[in-house]
């Protein structure tokens, strides 16, 4: 009798795990399964809640680089924004050497109607048009405002993995720079 | 937690025993009720009077905090006889100003247990069971045992969880699993109550957009141009803590952690000539605390209890389905039927069941789904129990799940499993229960 009871309990347990995923997970399944990605983007995901994004800007100062981001999404999504960090040390007015990103929709302007796609667009925009008025890396922003040419040179040099101002930047180049033409 | 079988069962008599104070109030209340609610004597088609229904109802109260204490007290005073209360928290000294079932000597003890003890002392004829547990730790059978659930929670995560769980109970067990939820929430001078009838009206998730996300500040402001004490506290908690303690998670309830933040934030505030960093502000910012107002809790809890009473006894029509209260500027309240959200991740999905052979390949199953003319799926992605079966996108995930297409479904999941299918044409998901024929 006791055995039978245990058996029933086990069956019930098995049934319980059979429940569908959490609302956050279902939403991510939908978002990722329908993500519009262009050839310059690659999403590397095995776990829907924790994945990487690789972005290779096709124009702008960061052209030729390959930038990696880590997305961490909690069960509170979409009430809470995804947590996104840049995994490399890069020279960028809106990204600090630790990888924190100053993007309004990742923090103060996050809203549950936004989604992963919107965050990816936001990141792309940051690389195409770095914003000197919202600096996270103050030195980079000041340089960008004062001397555009020096800023571009510093960006290119940091992308090759040089040390600038005591900070060792990651080499983010995907191919020899010459193949990217006129810089 | 002993039941009160030895005590004289009639309410008035039990409460009139000399050890129990406050009798006069209860006695007068019961007489008033008898005078005003004559319909309490009328039986429905099942032969039960509202009084019978009230006596039999088993109520689960989730949360024994600010709202929970009020709700519990109100339920007991309204004549409910079987109440369970669940709360995973212990009593903090800062709770005592409004969580009136607790005393200073109770600090550190489980809220659910202390609340139950208090109520048992005041109303010995009521069966109160305390659960010092997380709602996620209770079994399906536990939840199936209740007539109705009243939530007095402050965490959106917990409310989303219970909403999705109770919804799935109704979906799987039909009428047996149908548990109305009366959900109360307060934030400062504002509050709301909603009556959620699973699968019948808007659920909690339908209105998730109503909640403003937690206050955050631009990270560039925190890092470079702080103007407020909050900016300095966020600098310490968001930027400094992970840098200094990369492997330690910040705990907003650990005084050592908060003190460390206070020191860091104070030093930074001094640099930028900002004042106003205190321990309580720091903890408030870290834990996103909005000061609780006792009167808001009292009003919202009263509405919750009233709705519970109406739902259980059918003595009057219940709330349809959302009530909003604001005491910010005068007293304002508004009631309206909140519409179901067709793209709700909990109640907006479609359902389908299929009986197929276990040796069918996953690819064939997907083709079968796509052939269903009522669905018109274009490019479905499938998961089961959080395991990725097949994803159309992104590329890396498609490549990784592609080998599953050739596998037999019997090797991928068990008979009776429910697959979650998403597709661009579906506002949310399709839940497909697959039984092996």
**B9, B177, B208, B211, B309 from B167: Cα distances, Å:** 36, 9, 15, 20, 21
Contact A43 B239 (CB under 8 A): no
Q: What residues in chain A have per-residue pLDDT under 50? A: 1, 13-18, 177-183
* Structure-derived torsion over alpha carbons of residues B192, B197, B201, B202, reported in degrees to the nearest 10: 40
Q: Check whether residue B130 and residue B201 sit in a common domain.
A: yes
Q: Bridge partners of B433?
A: B353, B418
- pLDDT value at residue A82: 96
Contact between B420 and A29 using a beta-carbon 8 Å cutoff: yes
* Binary contact (B393, A22; C-beta < 8 A): no
If asked whether residues B307 and B332 sit together in one domain, one would say yes
Instruction: Check whether residue B47 and residue B109 sit in a common domain.
Output: yes
B380 and B428 fall within a common domain: yes
In a shared domain, residues B280 and B314: no
Which residue among A23, A32, A48 places its CB closest to the CB of B393?
A32
Residues of chain B with pLDDT > 90: what percent?
70
Same domain, B202 and B95: yes
pLDDT tens column, A30-51: 999 999 888 899 999 888 999 9
Q: Please tell me which residue in B151, B203, B220, B315 is annotated as part of the active site.
A: B220
Residues B304 and B357 in one domain: no
Domain co-membership, B198 together with B236 = no
CA distance B186 to B290: 10
- pLDDT value, residue A18: 44
- B200 and B83 in a common domain: yes
Query: Could you give the angle at the alpha carbon of B338 between the alpha carbons of B336 and B343, nearest 5°?
Result: 165
State how many domains chain B has: 3
| Residue spans per domain, chain A | 20-176
User: Which has the higher per-residue pLDDT, B50 or B336?
Assistant: B336
- If asked whether residues B330 and B385 sit together in one domain, one would say no
Query: Are the beta carbons of A102 and B217 separated by less than 8 Å?
Result: no
Among B301, B336, B371, where does a domain finish?
Answer: B336
Residue B185: phi, psi to the nearest 5? -150, 140
Q: Does A160 touch chain B (CB under 8 A)?
A: no
Q: Based on the domain organization, do B245 and B167 belong to the same domain?
A: no
What is the structure's pLDDT at B27? 56
Q: Distance of alpha carbon B139 from its chain centroid, rounded?
A: 16
User: By the 8 A CB rule, do B335 and B192 touch?
Assistant: no
Active site residue B220: yes
Contact B429 A30 (CB under 8 A): yes
Question: Does some domain include residue B361?
Answer: yes
Residue B1 within a domain: no
Confidence at B31, pLDDT banded by 50, 70, 90: low
Instruction: Write the pLDDT tens digit of every residue in B169-197.
Output: 998 888 889 999 999 999 999 999 999 99
**Integer CA distances (angstroms), B46 to B42, B43, B52, B53, B197, in order:** 11, 7, 11, 10, 22
How many CB pairs (< 8 A) connect A and B? Answer: 145
Rounded Cα distance between B229 and B285, Å, is 10
Q: Is residue B255 part of a domain?
A: yes
The CATH architecture that domain A20-176 belongs to is Roll (3.10)
Supply the ipTM of this predicted assembly.
0.78
Residues B283 and B297 reside in one and the same domain:
no
Residue A14 has what pLDDT?
47
- The answer to whether the beta carbons of residues A136 and A66 sit under 8 Å apart is no
Domain harbouring B429, CATH code: 3.10.290.20
Q: Which residues on chain B are in Cβ contact (under 8 Å) with A32?
A: 381, 391, 393-394, 397
Residue pLDDT, tens place only, B380-406: 999 998 889 999 988 889 999 999 999
Q: Give the separation between CA B303 and CA B322, rounded to whole angstroms.
A: 11
Q: Domain for residue B342, yes or no?
A: no
Domain that includes residue B140, residue range: 9-212+292-336
Residue among A14, A76, A135 minimizing CB distance to B224: A135
């Amino acid at each position: 009798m006791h055995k039978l009871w245990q058996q029933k309990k086990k069956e019930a347990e098995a049934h319980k795990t059979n429940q569908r995923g959490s609302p956050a997970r279902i939403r991510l399944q939908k978002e990722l399964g329908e993500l519009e990605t262009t050839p310059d983007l690659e999403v590397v995901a095995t776990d829907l809640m924790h994945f990487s994004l690789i972005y290779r800007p096709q124009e702008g100062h960061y052209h030729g680089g390959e930038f990696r981001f880590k997305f961490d999404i909690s069960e509170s999504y979409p009430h809470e924004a995804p947590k996104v960090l840049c995994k490399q040390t890069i020279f960028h007015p809106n990204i600090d050497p630790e990888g924190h990103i100053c993007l309004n929709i990742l923090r103060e302007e996050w809203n549950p109607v936004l989604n992963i796609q919107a965050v990816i667009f936001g990141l792309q925009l940051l690389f195409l048009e770095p914003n000197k008025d919202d600096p996270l890396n103050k030195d980079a922003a000041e340089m960008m405002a004062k001397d555009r040419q020096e800023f571009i040179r510093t960006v290119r040099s940091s992308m090759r993995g040089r040390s600038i101002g005591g900070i060792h930047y990651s080499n983010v180049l995907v191919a020899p720079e010459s193949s990217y033409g006129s810089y | 937690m002993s039941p009160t079988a030895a005590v004289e069962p009639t309410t008035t008599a039990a409460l009139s025993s000399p050890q129990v104070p406050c009798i006069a109030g209860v006695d007068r209340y019961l007489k008033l009720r008898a005078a005003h609610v004559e319909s309490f004597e009328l039986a429905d088609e099942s032969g039960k009077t509202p009084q019978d229904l009230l006596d039999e109802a088993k109520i689960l109260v989730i949360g024994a905090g600010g709202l929970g204490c009020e709700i519990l007290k109100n339920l007991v005073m309204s004549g409910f006889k079987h109440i369970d209360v669940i709360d995973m928290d212990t009593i903090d000294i800062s709770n005592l100003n409004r969580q009136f079932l607790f005393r200073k000597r109770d600090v550190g003890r489980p809220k659910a247990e202390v609340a139950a003890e208090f109520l048992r002392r005041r109303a010995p004829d009521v069966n109160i069971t305390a659960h010092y547990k997380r709602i996620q730790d209770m079994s399906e059978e536990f939840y199936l045992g209740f007539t109705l659930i009243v939530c007095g929670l402050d965490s959106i995560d917990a409310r989303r969880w219970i909403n999705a769980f109770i919804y799935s109970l109704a979906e799987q067990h039909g009428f047996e699993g149908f548990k109305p939820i009366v959900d109360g929430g307060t934030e400062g001078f504002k509050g709301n109550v909603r009556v959620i009838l699973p699968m019948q009206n808007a659920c909690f998730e339908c209105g998730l957009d109503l909640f403003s996300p937690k206050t955050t500040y631009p990270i560039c402001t925190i890092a470079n141009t702080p103007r407020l004490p909050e900016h300095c506290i966020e600098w310490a908690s968001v930027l400094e803590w992970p840098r200094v303690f990369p492997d330690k998670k910040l705990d907003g309830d650990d005084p050592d952690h908060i003190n460390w933040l206070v020191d860091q934030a104070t030093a930074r505030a001094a640099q930028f000539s900002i004042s106003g960093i205190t321990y309580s502000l720091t903890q408030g910012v870290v834990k996103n605390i909005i000061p609780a107002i006792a009167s808001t809790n009292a009003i919202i809890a009263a509405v919750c209890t009233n709705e519970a009473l109406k739902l259980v006894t059918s003595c009057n029509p219940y709330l349809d389905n959302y009530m909003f209260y604001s005491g910010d500027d005068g007293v304002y309240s508004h009631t309206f039927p909140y519409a179901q959200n067709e793209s709700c991740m909990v109640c907006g999905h479609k359902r389908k069941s299929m009986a197929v052979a276990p040796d069918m390949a996953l690819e064939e199953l997907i083709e079968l789904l796509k052939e269903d003319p009522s669905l018109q799926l274009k490019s479905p992605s499938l998961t089961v129990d959080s395991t990725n079966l097949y994803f159309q996108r992104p590329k890396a995930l498609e490549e990784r799940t592609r080998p599953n297409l050739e596998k037999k479904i019997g090797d991928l999941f068990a008979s009776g499993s429910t697959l979650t299918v998403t597709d661009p044409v579906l506002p949310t998901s399709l839940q497909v229960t697959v039984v092996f024929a």
